[in-house]
Amino acid sequence: MRHQKKTVKLGRTAEHRKALLANQVCSLIEHQRVMTTLAKAKAVRPLAEKMVTLGKKGSIHARRTALATLRQKTAVKKLFDQIAPRSTDRNGGYTRIVRLGQRKSDSAPMAFIEWVDATQAAEEKAAEEKGAKGTEPRKEKAVEAKESAPEPKESKPKRRGWLGRKSPDTGK
């Protein structure tokens, strides 16, 4: 019986599993969204939620605890400065898992894990970029790309393999 055995082992040793989950959380902090297998996403979620809770506390002890777990200073800094302040009014449920279907190679169920409030941050960032850049430079770049594009060459018919080859002697 598996009573009170919550740890998902993921077919790895304890050290390997801890390193994997820490790297996944750091990637989630850096990129705001990570595509992985469903089992890994479900294993990453509790650790990511705990890190955000530490980030909301904001104390030196919480920062050192997060650094001991994640092992990347840049990720901890971004967690405490950007991600945790976005979640101050939320009492939990900081991440979302979106199922994507089966992976083509081995049919493993794939999923995105992302921050729930990442869409708000992305919209604010897009609004800032739009106000600063404008739309005219993009049109000029598109026109330049069309002018400098090489003309397509005539394509030869594809060879089908050894069955479809013509013999050099007969010309068939």
Give the pLDDT score at 125: 77
Q: Is residue 29 in a domain?
A: yes
Q: What is the rounded distance in angstroms from the CA atom of residue 121 to the CA atom of residue 90? A: 15
If one counts the domains in the chain, the total is: 1
Q: Is residue 22 in a domain?
A: yes
Q: What is the rounded distance in angstroms from the CA atom of residue 3 to the CA atom of residue 1? A: 6
Q: Is residue 86 in a domain?
A: yes
The structure tokens 């493993």 sit at 108
Supply the range of the domain harboring residue 74. Answer: 14-119
**Residue 130: other Cβ atoms inside 10 A:** 10
Q: How confident is residue 119, by pLDDT bands cut at 50, 70 and 90?
A: confident
Give the pLDDT score at 120: 75
Q: Which helix (H) or strand (E) holds 2?
A: none
3-class SS shares of the chain: helix, strand, coil, % to 5:
55, 10, 35
Per DSSP, the three-state class of 79 is helix
The DSSP 8-state label assigned to residue 112 in this structure reads E
Give the pLDDT score at 126: 82
Q: What is the rounded distance in angstroms from the CA atom of residue 110 to the CA atom of residue 7? A: 20
pLDDT tens per residue, range 140-152: 555 555 565 566 6
Q: What CATH number did the domain enclosing 40 receive?
A: 3.90.1030.10
Torsion-angle region of residue 111: left (phi > 0), alpha (psi -120 to 50) or beta? beta
Per DSSP, the three-state class of 29 is helix
pLDDT tens per residue, range 19-32: 999 999 999 999 99
Q: Is residue 3 in a domain?
A: no
Q: Is residue 49 in a domain?
A: yes
Q: Is residue 142 in a domain?
A: no
Give the pLDDT score at 24: 98
Q: Which two tokens stand for residue 83?
A: 């991600």
